[in-house]
Amino acid sequence: MKNSLYAALLFLGLAVLTACGGETAPEEKFTKEYDLAPFGVMLKVRGPEGLKINKVTGGILPHEITMQGEEFQVYLYGQGAETEDVKTLKEEQKEETKASKKGFEIISEDDNGYVFSMQYEGDSTKFYNFEYLYIQGDQQFRMTSSTVTQYSQEAIMDMYKAIEQRPSAEK
């Protein structure tokens, strides 16, 4: 009887492993967390060790922050929210990006943003970038990577995962 129970449990365990494919969630490249509260923005991002974060002074928008590190370059732009609906904001940004980029193609998309490829006039090389939009209270934020540095699709996806928003505990 005991052997039948052990055999059944073993069979059940193997069935579960087979059904799950034995796969684990992909490991994220950037795990060190940085709080942007000292820069006047109540958000957190993840990035590489030694990430350099700078607040741009004299910019057009109230919040302009650059974040640079190894295989990581993200720009944050913030201003008063024009809407409370991030999906509307994302669709407007997508149309603006599409109209200004040759060969615009969406690679992946979620509720807050999208990863895309594009080409520059006279160049067949694909460049990858992202637009991530977030609304917090009466502020809206847009994050994107460099438009001149050529990053691989994988590097852009890693940056996108790193900047998915987690509000800061500080107010």
| DSSP assignment string, 6-64 | HHHHHHHHHHHHHHHTT--PPPPS--EEEE-GGGT--EEEEE-TT-EEEEPSS-SSSEE
CATH architecture of 29-167: 3-Layer(aba) Sandwich (3.40)
Q: Which of 159, 136, 148 is nearest to 78 (CA)?
A: 136
Residues in the chain: 171
Structure tokens at 60: 């057009």
Residue found by looking up tokens 């904001």 in the block:
89
Q: Give the model's pLDDT for residue 55.
A: 94
Q: The sheet that has 102-109: what strands, in order across it?
A: 52-55, 63-69, 72-80, 139-145, 127-136, 113-119, 102-109
Q: Return the higher-pLDDT residue of 166 and 55.
A: 55
Q: Give the model's pLDDT for residue 1.
A: 52
Structure tokens at 58: 């004299």
Model pTM greater than 0.75? yes
Give pLDDT tens digits for 114-133: 999 998 878 888 899 999 99
Q: Give the model's pLDDT for residue 166.
A: 56
Helix, coil or strand: residue 1 = coil
Q: Give the model's pLDDT for residue 26.
A: 57
